[in-house]
Every structure is written in structure tokens, then in C-alpha cells.
Amino acid sequence: MKRRDFVKTVGIGALAGGALAACSKKEGAGTAVMSGGKKVEWKMVTTWPKNFPGLGTGANTLAEAINQMSGGRMEVKVYGANELVPALEVFDAVSSGTAEMGHGAAYYWKGKSEAAQFFAAVPFGLNAQEMNGWLYHGGGMELWNEVYAPFGLIPAAAGNTGVQMGGWFNKQINSIADLKGLKMRIPGLGGEVLKRAGGTPVNLPGGELYTSLQSGAIDATEWVGPYNDLAFGFYKVAKYYYYPGWHEPGTTLEAIINKKAYEALPKDLQSIVMNACKVANQDMLAEYTTRNNDALQTLVHEHKVSLRQFPDDVLKKLRKLSDEVVAEVGAKDALSKRVFDSFVKYRDQASAWHEISEVSYYRARKL
Ligand code: CA
């Protein structure tokens, strides 16, 4: 299903889904014989379970794009979390050259560099469109390269979930006091914000969320959005589905590439790898946009989920706490400060422009 979607979306060819991998291999062998060159074989380790909808399949999309665009001169094999290395060892595995490439999210690597978090998701930060604007044309990529350079890594944006949902709760959130004592699965900077609001953030892998919510081990959880949340069945164990996902307004997924392996490629394959990342980046957002639309209808109309918006007063307080948390990250070291300054300047300008473009258009469309 996903492979067929990819072929359709990217328009590489009319190959049927199942035959894709086999065909690439066959073409690769043919090309190698014709040119006398040796096929480049890369391993891509990922922080997702193999084929996990949206995220894991996004890694597959990236590998398939490289395999196909290179006419089989290159073959990237995707490994799910724990197949070659555990999820949170992806960064080190690519840095050391155990794998040539990785797929994950930069906020997992804050232990390597605090500044990494700006390249995934920032509470009340940039949405998907703005992240891409900042990265590709606003100086963001240059900074990201600088942050990863000491680790021998080249980063690339390789997917985006769009605005996420606020999460699943079993009680209403009517004031910031309702977050006090709340045990919620919410990772990263959003979790730190919840902590300052009096809650207890916990980080659990996706596969444990349903049973944790069911058993009462946690009171609430965020995950991604309607598409992934419907698949996990959270509507069976939580009453209220809150929006918006203030903590993850447009999470960028990343590809990381071992610098030595990249530099060993001929120029055209280098270009294919980087442009395949752009294809995968766009394709994931398009997929999430479409599948979230569909899944939201199912959740609301079929499963009668109670959809609720966080009250403005709650959001204002979360925004204030978020600004504190994010500014602290920006004050950790000189490079984090430069990334923070660039990010905040871009957000301010994008807010001004999007107020009169996107926001105004959404309003006009509803009139
Ligand atoms: Ca999330």
C-alpha cells in the first residue's frame, strides 16, 4: 500500500508495490555490469519500529527514492529500531560509521547538543511550512550542519508530521491547575513545560501507551495525530482528545548521514541522496495531511470521540512556561544561543507574515 503510494506520489515509475525492491536490485546489477562500477550499499538505522505507519514508512520512502533515482547504483537497506542498534543509539551508530545513514528526530540527541532540539520540535515554535522555510532558505540548515559537524554527521530534513494533537485525557482541562499532578506521557521540551505547570511528564515508547493509559499507570498521553492515534486505539481508553499540539507544532524528522561515507560518493549520488531527503520530507507531510483528515472523521463520527480545544488561558500559561524553557536551552552554550536567536527571529517574522497570509486565509475560508 505504502510503496504503491510512494510510486504514485513521486512519479518514479509505474512499478507495482511488491515488485519494487526486486526490480531495483535487478536494475542495480545491470547498471553495475554496464558501467563496471561497484554498487554502493548503505545501511539506514532508524528510531522507529520497522514499517511503523508514517514514520517508519517515511524512512522506507527515503531509501526507495535513493535506490530508484540512482538507477540501482546505490542500495539503502532500512533497519527498524533494535534490528541493528536500539532506537536511541542511531546517532552514535551513524557517527561511528556502523551505519552510513539514520532516520529519526533531532530532539532525541539533546544529550549530544542542546541545540539539536531546535531542529525537531519547539513548543509554540515553527509549523511544518515554517520549519522548511527556516531550514532551506532561512539559515537553519547551515546551523544544523554546524551542530552535527563535530560528530562527523550531515543532517537533512526528511519528514514532517504537521501540527500534532494535544493528547488524550480522562478529565477536562479547564484551567492550568488541572495539569497539577497529572502524569502524562509527553517527551522533550513539552514535558519540561508540563513539569513546570505542576504535572509529571513520563517518556514511554509508543507501543506501551495504550496499556499504560488503560491501567491508569499514566493519566494522559500525547502521541502524534489522528492517523497514528486512531491506529493505537486511544479512543477506547481516554475520554477527551485535546487540541492543538502546542508542544509539537510541526515536528521535523531527520536523516543523518555519515560524512565520510557521503564524501566517498560521486557528486551525482551525493545530489540524489540530498534530493531524496527533500522528496521524503514533502511526501511525509502530504501523507499525514491526507490520513489525518480521514482519521479525524472516523474518530469523531464513528467512535464519537469528544474533541476539545485547550482554553486560551491554559495555552497562554503554557506559552509563557515554554518561552522560559526554550530560552534556557538557548542559553546553554554559544552555538545554542546562535540557533535560538536565528529560530526566534524567523518565528517572529513568519508570525507577522502568516498572520496576514495563512491565518487570514483560514479565517476568510470559514466566512
Ligand atoms: Ca508527539
Mean pLDDT value across residues 145-164: 98
Read off the pLDDT of residues 125-148 as tens digits, 9 standing for 90 and up.
Answer: 999 999 999 999 999 999 999 999
Name the band, by pLDDT with cuts 50, 70 and 90, for residue 208.
Answer: confident
Per-residue confidence (pLDDT) for residue 207, from 0 to 100: 79
Per-residue confidence (pLDDT) for residue 203, from 0 to 100: 82
Give me the CATH number covering residue 12.
3.40.190.170
Asked if 201 and 191 touch (Cβ cutoff 8 Å), the reply is: yes
Per-residue confidence (pLDDT) for residue 34, from 0 to 100: 41
Per-residue confidence (pLDDT) for residue 152, from 0 to 100: 98
Residue 85 lies in a domain: yes
Strand partners, 242: 167, 308
User: Rounded to the nearest whole angstrom, what is the distance from the C-alpha of residue 304 to the centroid of ligand 1?
Assistant: 22
User: Rounded to the nearest whole angstrom, what is the distance from the C-alpha of residue 313 to the centroid of ligand 1?
Assistant: 22
Per-residue confidence (pLDDT) for residue 243, from 0 to 100: 98
Q: Which residues contact 273 (CB under 8 A, 6 or more apart)?
A: 66, 74, 257, 262, 265
User: Rounded to the nearest whole angstrom, what is the distance from the C-alpha of residue 96 to the centroid of ligand 1?
Assistant: 28
Q: Please give the share of the chain, as a percent, with pLDDT higher than 70.
A: 90
User: Rounded to the nearest whole angstrom, what is the distance from the C-alpha of residue 254 to the centroid of ligand 1?
Assistant: 15
Asked if 252 and 119 touch (Cβ cutoff 8 Å), the reply is: yes
User: Rounded to the nearest whole angstrom, what is the distance from the C-alpha of residue 172 to the centroid of ligand 1?
Assistant: 20
Query: How high is the mean pLDDT of the chain?
Result: 91
Residue 254 lies in a domain: yes
Per-residue confidence (pLDDT) for residue 340, from 0 to 100: 98
Q: What is the CA radius of gyration of the chain?
A: 21
Range of the domain at 98: 3-24+36-162+249-289
Q: Which residues contact 11 (CB under 8 A, 6 or more apart)?
A: none
User: Rounded to the nearest whole angstrom, what is the distance from the C-alpha of residue 40 to the centroid of ligand 1?
Assistant: 35
The gap between the terminal CA atoms of the chain, to the nearest Å, is 38
pTM across the whole model: 0.88
User: Rounded to the nearest whole angstrom, what is the distance from the C-alpha of residue 222 to the centroid of ligand 1?
Assistant: 6
Per-residue confidence (pLDDT) for residue 50, from 0 to 100: 93
Read off the pLDDT of residues 324-365 as tens digits, 9 standing for 90 and up.
Answer: 999 999 999 999 999 999 999 999 999 999 999 999 999 999
User: Rounded to the nearest whole angstrom, what is the distance from the C-alpha of residue 265 to the centroid of ligand 1?
Assistant: 35
User: Rounded to the nearest whole angstrom, what is the distance from the C-alpha of residue 38 to the centroid of ligand 1?
Assistant: 41
Residue 267 lies in a domain: yes
More confident site: 2 or 16: 2
Residue 30 lies in a domain: no
Q: Looking at this protein, which amino acid is placed at residue 278?
A: K
Per-residue confidence (pLDDT) for residue 13, from 0 to 100: 32
Residue 64 lies in a domain: yes
Read off the pLDDT of residues 174-186 as tens digits, 9 standing for 90 and up.
Answer: 999 999 999 999 9
Name the band, by pLDDT with cuts 50, 70 and 90, for residue 4.
Answer: very low
Read off the pLDDT of residues 40-93 as tens digits, 9 standing for 90 and up.
Answer: 999 999 999 999 999 999 999 999 999 999 999 999 999 999 999 999 999 999
DSSP string, 124-190: T---HHHHHHHHHHSSHHHHHHHHHGGGTEEEEEEEE--S---EEESS---SGGGGTT-EEE--HHH
List the one residue out of 38, 255, 245 whose CA is nearest residue 153: 255
- Residue for grid cell 545501511: 43
> C-alpha grid cell for residue 85?
542498534
Structural domain total, the chain? 1
Per-residue confidence (pLDDT) for residue 130, from 0 to 100: 98
Residue 236 lies in a domain: no
User: Rounded to the nearest whole angstrom, what is the distance from the C-alpha of residue 98 to the centroid of ligand 1?
Assistant: 28
User: Rounded to the nearest whole angstrom, what is the distance from the C-alpha of residue 251 to the centroid of ligand 1?
Assistant: 8
Read off the pLDDT of residues 260-293 as tens digits, 9 standing for 90 and up.
Answer: 999 999 999 999 999 999 999 999 999 999 999 9
Residue 146 lies in a domain: yes
User: Rounded to the nearest whole angstrom, what is the distance from the C-alpha of residue 147 to the centroid of ligand 1?
Assistant: 23
User: Rounded to the nearest whole angstrom, what is the distance from the C-alpha of residue 161 to the centroid of ligand 1?
Assistant: 9
Per-residue confidence (pLDDT) for residue 29, from 0 to 100: 41
User: Rounded to the nearest whole angstrom, what is the distance from the C-alpha of residue 349 to the centroid of ligand 1?
Assistant: 26
Asked if 11 and 51 touch (Cβ cutoff 8 Å), the reply is: no
Residue 50 lies in a domain: yes
Q: Which residues contact 23 (CB under 8 A, 6 or more apart)?
A: 15
User: Rounded to the nearest whole angstrom, what is the distance from the C-alpha of residue 267 to the centroid of ligand 1?
Assistant: 36
Mean pLDDT value across residues 221-234: 96
- Cα atoms in the Cβ-side hemisphere of radius 13 Å centred on 223: 25
Per-residue confidence (pLDDT) for residue 52, from 0 to 100: 92
Per-residue confidence (pLDDT) for residue 144, from 0 to 100: 98
Per-residue confidence (pLDDT) for residue 204, from 0 to 100: 82
User: Rounded to the nearest whole angstrom, what is the distance from the C-alpha of residue 56 to the centroid of ligand 1?
Assistant: 15
Q: Which residues contact 85 (CB under 8 A, 6 or more apart)?
A: 45, 79, 92, 93, 98, 99
User: Rounded to the nearest whole angstrom, what is the distance from the C-alpha of residue 240 to the centroid of ligand 1?
Assistant: 17
Per-residue confidence (pLDDT) for residue 36, from 0 to 100: 54
Per-residue confidence (pLDDT) for residue 116, from 0 to 100: 96
